[in-house]
Copies of this chain bind each other. A is one copy, B any other.
Amino acid sequence: MIDAKSISTDLKAVREQSPLVHNITNYVVMNNTANALLAVGASPVMAHAPEEVADMIQIASALVINMGTLSRHWVDAMLLAGKAARGKGIPVVFDPVGVGATPYRNEVAAQILEQCRPDIIRGNGSEIMALANTKTRTKGVDSIMTSRSALDSAKELASQNGAVVVISGPEDLITDGTHVHTIKNGSLLMPKVTGMGCTATALTGAFAAVNSDALKAAAHAMAVMGIAGELATKKSSGPGSLQLQFIDMLYQLSEADIAQIFLP
């Protein structure tokens, strides 16, 4: 069960163990991602040279692959790192940013699914639907949809890949193909800050590093994300202040905050 207590327990574990999370992510969010991981208590490392990613995996506790700004050498590094992570047995979290928008993104996403076999996949509803269909056809960027309407795709994707799938949105849905957890925290201002989804993926890497139950780890990460975002929004007068307040809140977040704000 996901409750305030289980969330706090994992958050405490992240802060105590400070897992090293290896990120191969996009240029837009690297600073935010590193700061969010530091603020939550983890240790970020960013490295993408094919010459070193497999070595970096040897000292890492989780790998986060985010395909926001793709290019050939980066894809090479993602695949190398993913295979090394599989070999070492650390969790791999995948963020298929923009899948469905171009054939290239679909191809790369399919390669990552197949070769890196991620434990957890996180995207918005459109991305999860596009990814579930990536082998058969390209859908383009779908129109806006509710998380709920992408749930069947998420379950199918989870079952086919033996992965936990997270759909971010006003409601976050987390499924392993059978069970579904729902996280209702968050705010409507959060999508106005670039990379909030990427941050959620990175935090998921930190939680997966301390909790081997991928379904719970992902749900806990999304809960911390939503609770911190909701509290930070109350102190913000726009997306600029939210970006700052969110980092402060991740850093400060207490067991009492979680108990008070978590929506079961």
A249 contacts across to B, CB distance below 8 A:
238
**Chain B residues closer than 8 Å to A55, beta-carbon distance:** 101-104
Determine the residue in chain B with the shortest Cβ distance to A70.
B49
* A18 smallest CB distance to B (angstroms): 10
Q: For residue A193, which residue of chain B has the nearest CB?
A: B35
Given contacts A101-B59, A247-B239, A252-B237, contact A26 B52 (CB under 8 A): no
Q: Is A72 positioned at the interface, with any CB of B under 8 Å from its CB?
A: yes
Query: CB within 8 Å of B: which of A182-219?
Result: 192-195
Query: Which chain B residues border A240 with CB–CB below 8 Å?
Result: 35, 39, 243-248, 251
The answer to whether the Cβ of A31 comes within 8 Å of any Cβ in the partner chain is yes
Q: Is A111 an interface residue (CB 8 A)?
A: no
Smallest beta-carbon distance A108→chain B, Å: 9
When C-beta atoms are compared, the residue in chain B nearest to A55 turns out to be: B102
Shortest C-beta distance, A78 to chain B (Å), equals 13
Q: Are A238 and B104 in contact (CB under 8 A)?
A: no
Copies of this chain, whole number: 3
Residue pair A48, B73 in contact (C-beta under 8 Å): no
| A98 adjacent to chain B (CB < 8 Å) | yes
Contact of A46 (CB < 8 Å), options: B26, B104, B141, B251: B26
Q: B residues within 8 A CB of A51?
A: 70, 72, 102, 104
Looking across the interface, which residue of chain B has its beta carbon closest to that of A138? B55
**A68: Cβ under 8 A from any B Cβ:** yes
Tell me the minimal C-beta distance from A191 to chain B in angstroms: 8
Q: Which residue of B lies closest to A235 (CB)?
A: B237
| Residue A30 lies at the interface, judged by CB distance under 8 Å to chain B | yes
Residues of the B chain whose Cβ atoms lie less than 8 Å from the Cβ of A141: 59
Can you report 20 A-B residue pairs in the complex whose CB atoms are below 8 A from each other? A27-B27, A31-B31, A31-B195, A34-B195, A35-B194, A39-B192, A45-B98, A46-B69, A47-B102, A49-B70, A52-B102, A59-B101, A59-B140, A192-B251, A236-B248, A238-B247, A238-B248, A238-B249, A240-B245, A240-B251
